[in-house]
Structure 1
Amino acid sequence: MTKIINFVTGENQSNLDQLQKVLRYSLKGKRYLLVMDDVWNEDPEAWCKLKSLLLGGANGSKILVTTRSRKVASIMGTRGGTTGFNLQGLPFEDCLSLFMKCAFKEERDKHPNLVKIGVEIVKKCGGIPLAVRTLGSLLYDSTDEHFWEYVRDNEIWQLEQKESGILPALRLSYDQLPPRLKQCVAYCSIFPKDFKFDSYDLVQFWMAHGLLQSHNKKEDLEDIGMRYLKELLSRSFFQDLTFGMFGLEVLTFKMHDLMHDLAMLVAKDEFLVVNSDCQSIPKSVRHLSFAAANASRNDFSSLLSDLGRVRTICFSTDDDEKTSQSFVESCISKSQFLRVLNLSESSIEVCSRKMGNLKHMRYLDLSRNSKIKKLPKSICELQSLETLDLAGCLELEELPKDIKYLVNLRVLVLTTKQKSLQESGIRSLGSLRSLKIFGCRDLEHLFEEIDQLSVLRTLSIESCPRLISLPPAIKYLSSLENLYLARCESLDLNLNMEIEGEGSHHDRKNTRPHLRRVFIMEITQLLELPQWLLQGSTDTLRDLFIVSCPNFMALPRSLKDLEALETLVIARCPKLSSLPEGMHHVTTLKLLTIGGCPALSERCKPPTGEDWPKISHIPQVYLDGEMIK
């Protein structure tokens, strides 16, 4: 409810009473249309509360609800007292057209027998687009007639189905997955319906449970996880895919609720979402997700009697609930084999000292708990820990110095009140692949000898307004591939970079970073790209983004030497007035985007702009949002 009100009013408050007053005032005498898509809440009281807030609008206001639950339709009250509109399936011809687009890479005329079989498969899909798309993706680029017949004639179509009859189609697609991907799909059932997945977090979750496997020992688990994810995306197990800002590598997506039903079906008895009706947890359960109604309850003694076999505990809270501290303590003390603990946004104020007993813990998410001030020293005893997320812990005073003993830590996301991380012990985390420092309002210095993080691939520093400089040894992070710097108004990328730093090696020609992606945004001090940033990356840098840097004046002449550059984005850099000479030599460049740079845009306009000859060879060029070619 709070999210709806915040969206309507434009406010961002957590005080529900105040928000309700603002909403009533905002809607008073106004006609509105409210669309509530895919509603599953069957609590009549919740609907009555929301409806009472919406009664102040003018005549003609409408509320449109979509749901697959007849009970929801009945509770919310439908148009004219009827049962609402029961949507029919997609017409057969449209289904067939969709199927053919999904199933055939080449012209379908070359495979008349497959087309005939496809027609029969589509008839079995009952006009449900998800079933059509899923089976089309399953058969994509396959010309094996026997396989097509197997899909058409499979006995699973004979199973009695509830309501939509879609599960046979989805189950067929699931059954064709390799075993490793079947497990990944099943593990998604622990998340609630309509959950917005983050590719980065989901891969870490799979990794924590040992689902990522490869015969190539040199391949990082993170790369294996992304490969798994892209394969599931190609098979339509996820949808609503969006890319990160400016196409950065983090993907967000959702699982269709029918796919979620399938995931719950194949997960069988090992996964349980605990709701307010739950009286006990079966011994077969290995993965638990607590809904808000349970996270705040205190009568949990019988519910938590036996968690010895549990591997995952996730707390899901809404804006009006607060997780009981004693409830969390009890879960931790009774779950000695826990691998994943997600306490994000749970409103806890103190971290349990008993966390140190969770010797099998691999994934710990404490993010967005703004009242946590200290971490227990025992957390440094979690030597199996691979992911530690402390983003948004705004009151966290410092990291325990013994964090250096987390020898298997691969991902650290950090928000802290510290002014310096010099004594933090982060430099000793030899397995660290990703370090993200976010929202550290007082941070002025990182730590020297950062080059000891010899396998670090991603470094992200965002919203640290007092950070003055980067440690000189950053020039020698030999494995660094992705560098993100954003909203650090005091940061000078050239400051102290001529200093080699203590304990530095004399011969470092082969230890320069081989960057693939550089993203720089809202770095006020940036006048030009520093030379050290691109050294060593001439044959690896693919993507370069410079955004909202008001004093940025010049791209380096060495830009012409970048042999792998594919994407260059320059946005809201008004003092940048020209492109460097020799850009026509960057033949690998596929996309150039320029916006919010008035003088530069004018020089790049075809056919007479002075800089147009430098970029006319690029396949895609955008100027101020307009596609030039």
Structure 2
Amino acid sequence: MTGGGDVLSAFLQVLFQNLFTLLSEIYGADEELRNLKDNLSTIQAVLRDAEERPPADEAVKLWLNDLRGLAYKATDVLDEFATEVERRRLIPYARVRNSLSFINPTRGLFWLRMSHKIKPIANELDVIIKRRNLRVGDGMTNREERGDHRESSSLLNPSLPLGRESDKQRIVELLVSSHMESGGNISVVAIHGMCGIGKTTLTQLVYDDEAIKKHFELTLWIHVSYDFNVNKLTKAMIESMDSCAYPLDYLDNLQKHLKEKLAGKRYLLVLDDVWNDDPVEWERLRVPLLYGAKGSKILVTTRIEVVADIISTSSPYYLQGLSDDDCWSLFCRYAFARDQQNFSDLDDIGREIVNKCKGSPLAAIALGHRLSRVADRSKWEAILQGEDWEFSGENSDISRAVRPSYQQLPSYLKPCFAYCSLIPKGYEFEKEFVVQLWMAQHFIQPRGEELIEDIAGSYFDTLVQRSFFQFSHFDYSSGQPRYTMHNLIHNYAQRVAAEDCCILQLGRRPNDPAKTRHLSLIGNQFVRDDSTQSNLSNRKESMFEDIYKCRGLYTLLLAGGYRTYEMRIPNKLAKRLKRLRTLDLSHSSLTMLPKSIGTLKHLRCLQLRNTNITRLPESVGCLYNLQILGLRNCDIVELPWNTRNLRKLRHLDLRLDDDSVLGTEGAKSRVHNLRSMPPEIGLLTELQTLSRFVVATYKSGISELKDLNDLHGELLISNLHLVLDAAEALEANLAGKRYIHRLELRWSYSRGVHDEKVLDSLQPHTNLRELRIVGYGGASFPDWICHSSFSNLVILSLSDCGKCEVLPPLGQMPVLKELYVKGMDSVKRVDCSFCGHDGRKFPSLQKLHFESMHCLQVWCGDDNCLLTSLRELVFKNCTNLRQLTHNLPSLTKLEIEGSPKLVGLRSFPSLQSLEVKASGEWVFSSWSSVASLSSLTLSRLPAISLRSELQPGHASISCLEISHCDQLVSLPDNWLPSSLTYFAIKHCSQLRALPRGLQNLGELEDLEIQNCGQLQYLPDGLKNLTSLVRFEISDCPQLLCLPNDGLPTKLRFLSIDNCPELRRRCKEEVGEDWPKIEHIFSLWIDKQLVVSSVQPRREGQTERPLNEGIKAMNSFRSLIVIVMRSKKVSRMGII
């Protein structure tokens, strides 16, 4: 059975519940709709049951397919009905005051037309029900009888373990170490990971380890599965110890007997494959287990994150996939087990196939088994290109592994999961993107007063916790985490979605376009770089013709963009695909939409992110059902004048990802071209997202924000200089917007005292977490900005407030962690008044940045205003800064750039990283105050006099970089600290010599010399750098030769670039310096690889194979792998 029935079950319940109240108000509709709703309610139970227990005969499948098609038809008709009602409500009252009568003939004609559409659906539904006359469960197999869940045991298959030795050792250490013991006698270690990742195999390895056998007096293995029955599990533990059946079933007797068995014994209990997330049931099971000896451990495996969090007494152990090499080895055991020779030419394609396993041992084994019977390369290529690996039958290994995870999902989550089969394999996605797709399809079931977005968010979190989605990385440009679906999970999603969902790509079309409701398009497969213009046009035309065949589409999702090709949407698309709920054309070069877009009356979600579109057609204002309009990263100039008609709109996304980000040093503000908001946008009171508001005059003033109190997330208000007065600003009611967490207030030019009154009236809600004020023209800030009631404010940025002479006293902000002050040119002094007068000053401040403060001369403080939490301090382009005398005991990072008049520092006892750029020579007389320094960068410094105070014993610097010091001629001998592991000197055009003490740096691993035009010699003694593994020399045209005594024997990477004389002397085999470098494994000259052996050859010694040479390199931290073809580099990777 496909997931289609359950998808319908999920959204039809919501749809009819929402529509019934509205439509039953219409005269004559009540009885018809009630009958239709009653019939649909009857069949929904059958649909849900069919999803839980696949039908056993084809007749039931056909019946459900008919029912599926009719349900879609009914949805379309009722949605059309509701849309027309909404349209009529928006018609100005004067035009339709007579039509509001129930006897109005126009209204009667409309209902007559709708009833002609509804009656056939109701009749057809009666026929379908009578045709089968089914009850819930008829024609279905019983799920428990299918044996989906295989029971595990503690015995290990010797051929399975590969690549898990380090994981095994970590788990063993957790189990035998005493520091893992919790307050009671037992501790719980949970292994969490997706299905098929190898949790049970790893646990079997641990269970069989000798250290475990010696440490524990008693070991037990219980396979739990999703039937968490405390009586059965307790009885199973007893029987595991007694090796015979236990006659009693009462929990009291069972627990007493188990307590006696475990009392005083240090045991290890394995609970494999746990699904229960009820902490009460877990506590019931745990009671007799508490009587074991101290040091007893319970090891749990689960594919559900919540279970691991509930059960584990420490952080759960998240099991990741195998490495590519281990996955390949496991695959080979099965694929090539019969006849290695016949498969010798399949290694390359085999590795590509294994890469699709994404570290899953289950997939590697299943694919190995399947391909062990096939030696035909073309069939292997078909497997590589195909979407269906191992799902050829209900009882395939992969199906059996994934199916329990799917079956244990609540019914409302199953269509959400199946719908995600539209996301192409390997694509990364944000939570918000998926949540809004679900919302547009009515998959989200209401829960009281809870926001639909919050409910959908909890759906997403559940799928993450149950390993259907995996965290990929945090995207700092958007400020959001990104997720992926493992290929195994994605394949199963495609299976349960069946005909409902399809990914359109070259060579793959929908099997039955009439049944396809959701379609995603991998567009970049239709526009290749080698395509001629005519071929490109043909492909686009063919692509759209394939789309048009799916006339019942609810979703059209562009998954691969056309960024380098002109993208146009044909006018007939809207006419052919009238049922669309979601249209996503993001990441394309789209510049305009056709006017016919306004005919898509069912459309809920229109996404145009990262396109070149600047305007929307006015017909967009006719999309009365639209909930989501995504214009993120678009250079939109204006919105449709009649946007006010979109009363169901919940999300209007106008964000720019690379807009100046609060808390991002050096961020550049991208200018938004939006000129104003459409008039009367304040009527859209369902808005949850309005990321930008551009103040204008006529009907789009700031007072339009008055009733938009459900706005969430971020809000940027620009053009504040157009606000008429404080009263208008107060009318915006920012204090009532409790869900806004990030707020930016931006003026384009100053209006002095007027700005002060406006800002005073724009006081936000105290729930605010981030605040940025840009271009403010007042001489002082209002009192609210430094009030301690803002107990949630974490980040504050004040930019280009040029008339303010004094910083506000912000020291009382209780949780302020980051403060950025930029372009406040009237501020000359920052002293203790900045910290406030009462209590502890800046108790949480960790980052403080001053930038482009051209008049700032002094930053001083005393012992009454210690910034004890400050870790990072930055001064950038503070050209008149002369004095920095604040005592900062916890400071670990200091950056100073463009402050040439700064002459001194106080003690920074905790400083670890110091960067000084374009500043004075003061820094070189201050080493005694930075004894804890580990990283130092000096750049663009004027004439300097280096002192020899920095002796090896006086510093712990490990990284030192000197660059763009044009008047630096030499460094004093023995000036460099012996602790250096990285030393770079770059773009010092007058440098003539390196210090002789360089050869004493016994810990140096990495040395770079770049663009030192006067440097002629390298000092002798570099051969003594016994730790050096990487050495780069570039753009030193006067450098004559390598040191006379050569280079270190451990050096593994040497690059020489644009050093003509050195290049000549290092010429392979014939150059004077060649003997000094022939031992180096990776040698590059002028960006060309010079081929040499992996290991140096002695006379009579043959060259060692590459793999043997690599195995001998056990001290490497990194390895550069070069694949050669005719002595030319074809591919390079770093591992």
TM-score range, shorter chain: 0.5 to 0.7
Q: How big is each residue's C-alpha offset from its partner over 1:419-471, in whole Å with a ceiling of 9 and x where there is no partner?
A: 443x5332221111221239x8x989962312132322344338x6x763566
1:483 to 722, 742, 745: 742
AA matched with 1:314:
L
Check 1:434–1:138 CA distance in 2 against 1; reply closer, same or farther (3 A cut): closer
Check 1:92–1:489 CA distance in 2 against 1; reply closer, same or farther (3 A cut): farther
| SS of alignment partner, residue 299 of structure 1 | helix
- What is aligned with 2:497? 267
2:563 to 314, 319, 322: 319
**Is the contact made by 2:597 and 2:620 (CA closer than 8 Å) also made in structure 1?**
yes
**Offset at residue 539 of structure 1 (A):** 5.7
1:205 to 405, 423, 437: 437
| SS of alignment partner, residue 304 of structure 1 | helix
Aligned: 1:429 with 2:664: no
AA matched with 1:483:
R
Question: For the residues of structure 2 that align with 1:370 and 1:158, how far apart are their CA atoms?
Answer: 41
- What is aligned with 2:757? 498
- What is aligned with 1:568? 817
Question: Which range moves more in the overlay, 311-320 or 401-410?
Answer: 311-320
| SS of alignment partner, residue 323 of structure 1 | coil
Question: For the residues of structure 1 that align with 2:890 and 2:492, how far apart are their CA atoms?
Answer: 41
- What is aligned with 1:407? 647
Question: For the residues of structure 1 that align with 2:858 and 2:759, how far apart are their CA atoms?
Answer: 39
Check 1:89–1:270 CA distance in 2 against 1; reply closer, same or farther (3 A cut): farther
Give runs of aligned pairs for residues 60-459 of structure 1, distance below 5 A: 89-94=162-167, 97=170, 107=181, 121-123=199-201, 135=303, 137=305, 139-143=307-311, 161-162=366-367, 172-217=404-449, 219-236=450-467, 237-242=469-474, 244=476, 250-280=480-510, 282=512, 283-292=514-523, 293-294=525-526, 297-300=540-543, 302-315=545-558, 316-326=560-570, 329-373=571-615, 375-394=616-635, 396-414=636-654, 417=673, 419-421=675-677, 424-437=679-692, 447-449=701-703, 450-459=705-714
**Is the contact made by 1:99 and 1:133 (CA closer than 8 Å) also made in structure 2?**
no
2:765 to 513, 519, 533: 513
**Offset at residue 399 of structure 1 (A):** 2.1
Check 1:584–1:197 CA distance in 2 against 1; reply closer, same or farther (3 A cut): farther
Question: Which range moves more in the overlay, 614-623 or 200-209?
Answer: 614-623
**Offset at residue 203 of structure 1 (A):** 2.6
- What is aligned with 1:538? 789
Question: For the residues of structure 2 that align with 1:268 and 1:99, how far apart are their CA atoms?
Answer: 43
| SS of alignment partner, residue 297 of structure 1 | helix
**Offset at residue 493 of structure 1 (A):** 10
**Offset at residue 384 of structure 1 (A):** 1.5
Aligned: 1:593 with 2:593: no
Check 1:543–1:244 CA distance in 2 against 1; reply closer, same or farther (3 A cut): farther
**Offset at residue 317 of structure 1 (A):** 1.6
**Offset at residue 380 of structure 1 (A):** 1.1
Question: Which range moves more in the overlay, 357-366 or 112-121?
Answer: 112-121
- What is aligned with 1:147? none
| SS of alignment partner, residue 596 of structure 2 | helix
**Offset at residue 406 of structure 1 (A):** 0.6
Question: For the residues of structure 2 that align with 1:214 and 1:310, how far apart are their CA atoms?
Answer: 25
AA matched with 1:251:
P
**Is the contact made by 1:359 and 1:383 (CA closer than 8 Å) also made in structure 2?**
yes
Question: For the residues of structure 2 that align with 1:393 and 1:120, how far apart are their CA atoms?
Answer: 44
User: How many aligned positions are there?
Assistant: 501
**Offset at residue 569 of structure 1 (A):** 0.8
- Indicate the structure whose relative CO is greater, using CA pairs within 8 Å and at least 6 residues apart: 1
AA matched with 2:305:
S
Question: For the residues of structure 1 that align with 2:192 and 2:592, how far apart are their CA atoms?
Answer: 61
Check 1:543–1:381 CA distance in 2 against 1; reply closer, same or farther (3 A cut): same
**Is the contact made by 1:348 and 1:372 (CA closer than 8 Å) also made in structure 2?**
no
**Is the contact made by 1:521 and 1:546 (CA closer than 8 Å) also made in structure 2?**
yes
Check 1:376–1:600 CA distance in 2 against 1; reply closer, same or farther (3 A cut): same
Check 1:117–1:291 CA distance in 2 against 1; reply closer, same or farther (3 A cut): closer
| SS of alignment partner, residue 215 of structure 1 | coil
Question: For the residues of structure 1 that align with 2:720 and 2:455, how far apart are their CA atoms?
Answer: 34
**Is the contact made by 1:346 and 1:369 (CA closer than 8 Å) also made in structure 2?**
yes
AA matched with 1:412:
L
| SS of alignment partner, residue 298 of structure 1 | helix
Give runs of aligned pairs for residues 43-58 of structure 1, distance below 5 A: none
Gaps of 5+ in 2: 1-160, 206-272, 274-299, 313-361, 369-389, 391-396, 528-538, 656-671, 872-887, 896-907, 913-1135
AA matched with 2:552:
R
Check 1:596–1:143 CA distance in 2 against 1; reply closer, same or farther (3 A cut): same
**Is the contact made by 2:869 and 2:890 (CA closer than 8 Å) also made in structure 1?**
no
AA matched with 1:348:
L
Q: How big is each residue's C-alpha offset from its partner over 1:118-142, in whole Å with a ceiling of 9 and x where there is no partner?
A: 9994317999xxx999737364045
**Offset at residue 337 of structure 1 (A):** 2.3
Check 1:208–1:325 CA distance in 2 against 1; reply closer, same or farther (3 A cut): closer
Question: For the residues of structure 1 that align with 2:838 and 2:653, how far apart are their CA atoms?
Answer: 37
**Offset at residue 91 of structure 1 (A):** 2.0
**Offset at residue 313 of structure 1 (A):** 0.7
**Offset at residue 288 of structure 1 (A):** 0.9
Q: How big is each residue's C-alpha offset from its partner over 1:77-97, in whole Å with a ceiling of 9 and x where there is no partner?
A: xxxxxxxxxxx9532441573
TM-score of the two chains, using structure 1 as the length reference = 0.63
Question: For the residues of structure 2 that align with 1:379 and 1:580, how far apart are their CA atoms?
Answer: 52
Question: For the residues of structure 1 that align with 2:172 and 2:583, how far apart are their CA atoms?
Answer: 41
**Is the contact made by 1:134 and 1:169 (CA closer than 8 Å) also made in structure 2?**
no
Question: For the residues of structure 1 that align with 2:508 and 2:419, how far apart are their CA atoms?
Answer: 21
Check 1:528–1:615 CA distance in 2 against 1; reply closer, same or farther (3 A cut): farther
Identity of paired residues, percent? 20
- What is aligned with 1:460? 715
**Is the contact made by 1:99 and 1:122 (CA closer than 8 Å) also made in structure 2?**
no
Check 1:205–1:337 CA distance in 2 against 1; reply closer, same or farther (3 A cut): same
| SS of alignment partner, residue 338 of structure 1 | coil
Check 1:294–1:500 CA distance in 2 against 1; reply closer, same or farther (3 A cut): same
Check 1:544–1:112 CA distance in 2 against 1; reply closer, same or farther (3 A cut): closer
Question: For the residues of structure 1 that align with 2:180 and 2:499, how far apart are their CA atoms?
Answer: 42
Q: Which structure would you say has the larger Rg?
A: 2
AA matched with 2:742:
L
TM-score of the two chains, using structure 2 as the length reference = 0.38
**Is the contact made by 2:720 and 2:745 (CA closer than 8 Å) also made in structure 1?**
no
How well do the aligned residues superpose, as a CA RMSD in angstroms?
Answer: 5.3
**Offset at residue 193 of structure 1 (A):** 3.0
Check 1:477–1:517 CA distance in 2 against 1; reply closer, same or farther (3 A cut): same
**Is the contact made by 2:561 and 2:588 (CA closer than 8 Å) also made in structure 1?**
yes
Question: Which range moves more in the overlay, 285-294 or 567-576?
Answer: 567-576
